[in-house]
Amino acid sequence: MMKRRVHVAAAAVIREDGRVLIARRPATADQGGLWEFPGGKLAPYETGFEALKRELSEELGIQIRRAQPLIRVHHEYPDKHILLDVWQVREYEGEPYGREGQPVRWVGVDDLPNYPFPAANLPILRAVALPQEYLITAEEPDETVFLKRLERALREDSIRLVQLRAKTLDDAAYQARAESTLALCRRYGAKLLLNADPAWLERVDADGIHLTSARLMTLKQRPIPANKWLGASTHGDEQLAQAGHIDCDFVTLSPLAPTPSHPDAITIGWHDFQQMVETAAMPVFALGGMTRHHANQARGVGAQGIASIRDFWRDDR
Ligand SMILES: Nc1nc2c([nH]c(=O)n2[C@H]2C[C@H](O)[C@@H](COP(=O)(O)OP(=O)(O)OP(=O)(O)O)O2)c(=O)[nH]1
Ligand SMILES: [Mg+2]
């Protein structure tokens, strides 16, 4: 028999101090007693956004003014196939409360993993904790120039997620670069992932590892603990599926669009990109020809946001 398909709209309502609103499901409901992002099933002929507005009014007593797509998650429960269509809401009227008597709580993003959520929610927790922009560092032999450009991006572009990609440095130089980069990222509260063998985390206490697609394909399981971030580079369906198998927290998917350095390369294009993101089991950053100005377009096709070297790697104006 074909499984029931359920389409649900849900919201990560975010307060000015960055805390996120979660609610507890009634003990008697499906997934009862677990915490959730408020929302519910689409009524016939409703769009996701219409359902979101109605559900948040019914469940929390707030009126949404603006919402941005965050992530779409497909999940197989034993009895049904569920699509969670999750939106980020920062602009609303009213003060949310549990209108149906359900407990609600404002929780810091780093505290979210301490609450029990339904199994389908893992990618949502990752998406809520990640920013919309991912800076990949350029190859830069001069350490002073490197740190100056990185600091500009941290300060002026408010970058909070950085990948150290330095393939031309030998081990000793890479270690020194990783340590100075980590110190700078810490000052701005940015997370640093090393594009390197996972064993590097024993030498440099960075926030995680970013796997090249080649490294990704050699692994049988997640190589680092759950409290570290694991990203991976992907270029197609097979690599996206592998990233799901080894439980990556997020991926980049590239090349989406042509870049000045590779104007004639074969690119994925927005249409296929959207279809691939829809099947992904984790947040996906759009990479290749992206600038901050593409962030909304990228979100519109299901991406977490954009990743770039070029757009963030420049001097002060
Ligand atoms: N709202 C919400 N539902 C979730 C989350 N995670 C998750 O697996 N679900 C599942 C549980 C339910 O099977 C389904 C949502 O249904 P619901 O019970 O909220 O639906 P509803 O608000 O329309 O309520 P009802 O009229 O059916 O009582 O999605 C989540 O974070 N938020
Ligand atoms: Mg509900």
Tens of pLDDT, residue by residue over 298-315, are: 999 999 999 999 899 988
Provide the 3-class DSSP secondary structure of residue 127: helix
Please tell me the distance from the alpha carbon of residue 109 to that of residue 221, in angstroms, as a whole number: 26
Query: pLDDT value at position 63?
Result: 98
Q: Decide if pLDDT at 1 tops 90.
A: no
Fold held by 133-312:
TIM Barrel (3.20.20)
Structure tokens at 42: 């689409």
* Residue 36 buriedness (CB in 10 A; 0-12 / 13-18 / 19+): buried
Domain 4-121 maps to which CATH number in 3.90.79.10, 3.40.50.2300, 3.20.20.100, 3.40.50.300? 3.90.79.10
Q: Decide if pLDDT at 284 tops 90.
A: yes
State the pLDDT confidence band at 260, using cuts at 50, 70 and 90. Answer: confident
Query: pLDDT value at position 317?
Result: 62
Query: pLDDT value at position 128?
Result: 97
Beta bridge partners of 75: 82
Q: Decide if pLDDT at 251 tops 90.
A: yes
Q: Decide if pLDDT at 316 tops 90.
A: no
Q: Are 198 and 209 in contact (CB under 8 A)?
A: yes
Q: Give whole-number Cα distances, 62 to 88, 120, 309, in Å.
A: 14, 25, 39
Over residues 205-219, the pLDDT tens digits come to 999 999 999 999 999
Measuring from each residue's beta carbon to the nearest atom of ligand 1, which residues come in under 6 Å?
6, 8, 10, 29-31, 36-37, 39-41, 55, 82, 84, 118, 120-121
Q: Is the pTM of this model over 0.90?
A: yes
Q: Decide if pLDDT at 259 tops 90.
A: no
ipTM for this prediction? 0.94
Q: Decide if pLDDT at 296 tops 90.
A: yes
Measured torsion, CA atoms of residues 171, 172, 175, 180, in degrees rounded to the nearest 10: -140
Pairing type for strands 39-41 and 4-13 reads: antiparallel
Mutate to test the pocket of ligand 1, among 41, 53, 75 (most ligand atoms within 8 A of CB): 41
Quote the ligand 2 centre to 297 CA distance (angstroms).
29
- Atom number of ligand 1 nearest to Cα 36: 31
- Atom number of ligand 1 nearest to Cα 75: 8
Q: Decide if pLDDT at 93 tops 70.
A: yes
Quote the ligand 2 centre to 55 CA distance (angstroms).
7
Task: Spell out the domain ranges in the chain.
Answer: 4-121, 133-312
